[in-house]
Chains A and B, each alone.
Chain A
Amino acid sequence: MIRLLDEFRCHFAMLRKHTIGLTRIFHTDHLRRSGSQMDTALISKSSSGSMDSYSRRQTSSLALPHQPSRPPRHDQYEISGLTSFYLVVLGGCSSFVIPELCSNYITCILITLAINAILCVSLNLINGYMGEFSVGHAAFMAIGAYGSAIITVKILPLIPFSLSSFLTFPLMVVAGGLLAALVGIPLALLSFKTRGDYLAIITLAFLMIVKSALENISYVGGPRGFLGIPPLTTLPWVYFWAVVTFWIMRHFIHSKWGRSIIAIREDEIAAEAMGVSTRSAKMMTFVISSFFAGIAGGLFAHQIQFINPSSFDILRSTNILVMVYLGGVASLSGSLVGAGVFTILYQILQPLGVWRMVTMPLLLVLLMIFRPRGIMGYQEWSCFKLKE
């Protein structure tokens, strides 16, 4: 195969020579030499790959006009990868220190910020990367919140022996996430047939159904809400979950499924024609997205200790949308920025009272008109990229 490629390359190069003037060829001769050295260096470093070094060398010597060497990005990535690892460790340490040093208020804001970041990145997967539109994200959050709250409050006391919350809390949160992911499956099935406006309506209907179903289940308190959830969400825990979320999301969008959903966003028919199984890609996206929304819900429930159906209404969904479109669509860094800016802005606007609920949708509309991509749309800080 490779030899064939080379042969072809040679052939094509000759073809090009007919059309390209002599001067160009001279010029490229010079370029080529510098490129070939770099290429062989690269190859000797990485012995794996479908190409043996023999053919690679041959390739370079037959390189075409205006062909630069591959951008040597490897080292950059390695450094930033290590830096981000240090940053994560540093953040982990400070998440233990901050609650001791700072006021409760600051800690509380930081916890909210981390939960918001998880929500934002999970919605960004559907709205930003896949280019579909979901307004029902608050519903997944609600399911995660209620699911984990039920386990903490109603099921755990039934177990005869007592377990430390350090062990049970992550399990409860994961259980909430799994429940949300399970509910995400039918929604994914619906997204196979419909898209665009109609999918938006389906997610909206889904949100309304979940909300009014919760209002009608007296087991979880109905419209009055669910009381007495222990305050298990601490800063180190949310930090841990946020890191896990971003870590997994980064892997997902840099995998073949990640590329698939981006292809679906660009052109669904072309994506299918490139062998992308749109169904499994959509299914995975919805499941992963709803799982993390459920995780965020579980953390949220154990932070504020009281949840009721109306805390998961359309306004909650809108807030997540604001974060996504403020921070930047299809961007992990954007999700972080969006969650950060939103959380702080939300606190600053506290004195406005009810009018604060006007400012958030207004911000959303202004964003749509003036900068629909958001701050970091389609861009990424290098620490969120992966080396290849």
Chain B
Amino acid sequence: MDYIIQQVINAIQLGSIYGLIALGYSLVYGVLSMMNFAHGDLFMLGAFFCLLLEKIIPLPLWLALLLTMLVIGCLGALLERLAYRPIRHAPKVSAIITSLGCGLILENITLAMSPYPRHMPTLFQNSIFHFHGITISSLQIIVIGISLLLMILLDVMIRCTTLGMVIRALAWNRLMVSLLGIPANRIISFTFALGAALGAAAGLLYALTYPVVSSSMGIAIGWKAFIAAVIGGIGNMRGALLGAFILGSTEVMSITMLPSTYRDLIAYSLLLIILIFKPYGILGEPPTQKI
């Protein structure tokens, strides 16, 4: 029983990191209906940036988090401006290819500059609590806490503020939003920045939990979160979280039962199986097509 609870906590921890990244995918998909494959690499850059930051000046966690989110957020907006905006009206295939290309560019630049995985310094004293046979570390509490906080903030922003309303409106009809005099481009840039910032925060939290940072993280972890977003129904915030926790728990289960090399195999198989039965994800809806 204790063992199960322990694993549940692990699953929640992994799931909340996936969830943060998946939210970024979903946000961007929501406003532009495009799959931003480069998002996983923004997550990886978040981890790298934080590492760099701590190497230069050791900052407290909250400040490092804010700075990372800010810088990577700007990078996300820049990416949108340079690569995605020129092809916004091109066929969907172009968007997929461009984002895939951007992701690989970011990954390989990082690889070229830092060919070997690096070790992440600890940002705070990690203490471990025991009660009733369950161990929980302060790291886990912080990771889950920060993720939950960010998710709640995002949810409040999307649902209760004017900005959130505009973002939701963009998902429905981009042209109409522009016609109403709202600077759609600026909002789209902001959404990209927001998604990237969430990804960067996840990168930081991931690097704290598993303190090895490498350029392949974007594909290894970032794309897993992408699976989560797709499983849940991409474009749907709640779906992204649902997918993240499903994926998190599946992975934790598979790690306890099978060699860790099967991790990718299981995650991607899960995606395929779910897409076979629900081609647009669990909470997603098929795009309507006028005949």
Contact = CB atoms under 8 A, between A and B. Distances in A.
**Touch A–B, Cβ below 8 Å:** yes
Contacts of B265: 209, 212-213, 216
B276 A190 contact: yes
Interface in B65-124: 83, 86-87, 90-94, 96-98, 100-105, 108-109, 111-112, 115
Given A212-B264, A354-B111, A354-B112, A198 B98 contact: no
Interface in A277-320: 314-315, 318
B268 A208 contact: yes
B264 A201 contact: no
B172 interface: no
A133 interface: yes
A193 B230 contact: no
Contacts of B93: 127, 131, 133
B279 A321 contact: no
Contacts of A135: 96, 100
B97 A368 contact: yes
A197 B92 contact: yes
Contacts of A212: 261-262, 264-265, 268
A215 interface: yes
A202 B87 CA distance: 23
A197 B96 contact: yes
B97 A325 contact: yes
Interface stretch (A31-39, A58-66, A116-124, A355-363): A355-363
Interface string A316-359: 00100100010000000000000000000000000001110110
A190 B289 CA distance: 20
A364 interface: yes
B161 interface: no
A216 B104 contact: no
B35 interface: yes
Contact of A194 (B98, B108, B279): B279
Contact of B291 (A201, A213, A269): A269
Nearest to A364: B101
Contacts of B262: 212, 216
Interface in A174-218: 190, 193-194, 196-198, 200-202, 204-206, 208-209, 211-213, 215-216
B35 A197 contact: yes
A206 B86 CA distance: 30
A215 B261 CA distance: 8
A318 B104 contact: yes
A170 interface: no
A360 B108 CA distance: 10
A236 interface: no
A361 B104 contact: yes
A289 to B, nearest CB: 16
A368 B275 contact: no
Contacts of A99: none
A221 interface: no
Interface residues of B, number: 46
B6 interface: no
A357 B264 contact: no
Interface string B195-225: 0000000000000000000000001000100
A202 B98 CA distance: 18
A22 interface: no
A372 interface: yes
Contact of A314 (B90, B92, B104): B104
A318 B271 contact: no
Contacts of B111: 354, 357
Interface residues of A, number: 43
Contacts, number: 127
Contact of A318 (B100, B109, B261): B100
A369 interface: yes
B86 A369 contact: yes
Contacts of B275: 190, 194, 198, 201-202, 205
A208 B279 contact: no
Contacts of A216: 259, 261-262, 265
A220 to B, nearest CB: 14
Nearest to B103: A361
Contact of A198 (B87, B112, B280): B280
B137 interface: no
Contacts of B227: 205
B272 interface: yes
Contact of A205 (B33, B104, B271, B289): B271
B138 interface: no
A103 B92 CA distance: 44
Given A200-B96, A205-B272, A354 B101 contact: no
Shortest 5 CB-CB distances between A and B: which pairs?
A: A361-B104, A212-B264, A361-B101, A364-B101, A365-B101
17 contacts: A127-B93, A133-B96, A135-B100, A193-B279, A209-B265, A209-B272, A212-B264, A216-B259, A269-B291, A315-B104, A325-B97, A353-B112, A358-B104, A361-B101, A365-B105, A368-B94, A372-B87
Given A196-B92, A202-B272, A209-B268, 19 more contacts: A133-B96, A135-B100, A197-B33, A198-B275, A198-B280, A205-B271, A208-B223, A209-B264, A209-B272, A212-B265, A213-B265, A216-B265, A269-B289, A318-B101, A321-B100, A354-B115, A361-B101, A364-B97, A372-B90
Interface of B: 33-35, 83, 86-87, 90-94, 96-98, 100-105, 108-109, 111-112, 115, 219, 223, 226-227, 230, 234, 259, 261-262, 264-265, 268-269, 271-272, 275-276, 279-280, 289, 291
